[in-house]
Amino acid sequence: MLGWNLGFIGAGQMAKAIGISLIQKGLVQPSQVTVSSPEASHLEVWKRNGCNATAHNAEVVQSSQLIMWAVKPQYFKQPFKILS
């Protein structure tokens, strides 16, 4: 079990492939995972798995020791603008 909180900026397929796998393998507890996305439908999957889900990237940064950027390249600049 990892002793830190994990955050994902982006909650789509890339994030799910990594995050849900880590949960299923027992490496992190769902309560240790926070994800953000502007898409409510993406967040619902995470909520059903017991994770923290938000529309605000800053919440992921504040609650996580490790942050994974799981956004498509064409959208990569937007999360940085919000955080700066």
Domains held by the chain: number: 1
Look at residue 57 and tell me if it is in a domain: yes
pLDDT value of residue 82: 59
**Predicted pLDDT of residue 72:** 81
Phi and psi torsions of 63, nearest 5° = -105, 0
Asked if the structure places residue 83 within a domain, the reply is: no
Neighbours of 46 (CB within 10 A): 25
Expressed as residue numbers, the domain containing 51 is: 6-77
| Residue 63 placed within a domain | yes
The yes-or-no verdict on residue 83 having pLDDT over 90 is no
Residue 84 lies in a domain: no
Is 16 a member of any domain? yes
DSSP string, 3-21: -S-EEEE--SHHHHHHHHH
Q: What is the pLDDT of residue 45?
A: 93
At 84 the pLDDT is: 56
pLDDT of residue 52: 98
Asked whether residue 72 is domain-assigned, the answer is yes
pLDDT tens track for 10-63 = 999 999 999 999 999 999 999 999 999 999 999 999 999 999 999 999 999 999
* CATH number of the domain within which 69 lies: 3.40.50.720
- Do the domain assignments include residue 82? no
Predicted confidence at residue 80, as pLDDT, reads 61
